[in-house]
Amino acid sequence: MSNLAPIFVSVFLAELGDKTQLATLLFATDPKLSRAGVFIASAAALTLSSLLAVMFGEQLTRIVSPALLETLAGIGFVVIGLWILFVK
């Protein structure tokens, strides 16, 4: 398995059913919009946001260690999950 496969699978699964996908789905229901145009625009937006994340991540690792970032991200996801379970 390629080193990039886990990245693909993680991003693909994270995007399933999220706000971005739902927004794209809703745009695709508009009969005035081209389905190809909706696909191209949403793909370009995801590509640009991914580019920004990679560029920001590269700069951030110069200040904070990748291990600390992973730990903080994990804690953040757990906190968000607990908030959704108990507060919402």
Distance in angstroms (rounded) separating the CA atoms of residues 14 and 10: 6
| Confidence category of residue 87, pLDDT binned at 50, 70, 90 | confident
pLDDT tens track for 55-70: 999 999 999 998 999 9
CA proximity to 18, closest of 1, 10, 74 = 10
pLDDT at 30: 96
Domain edges within the chain: 5-86
| Confidence category of residue 38, pLDDT binned at 50, 70, 90 | very high
The tokens describing 65, both together, are 């260690």
Residue 17, phi then psi, degrees to nearest 5: 75, 10
In this structure, are residues 21 and 15 in contact, taking their beta carbons and an 8 Å threshold?
Answer: yes
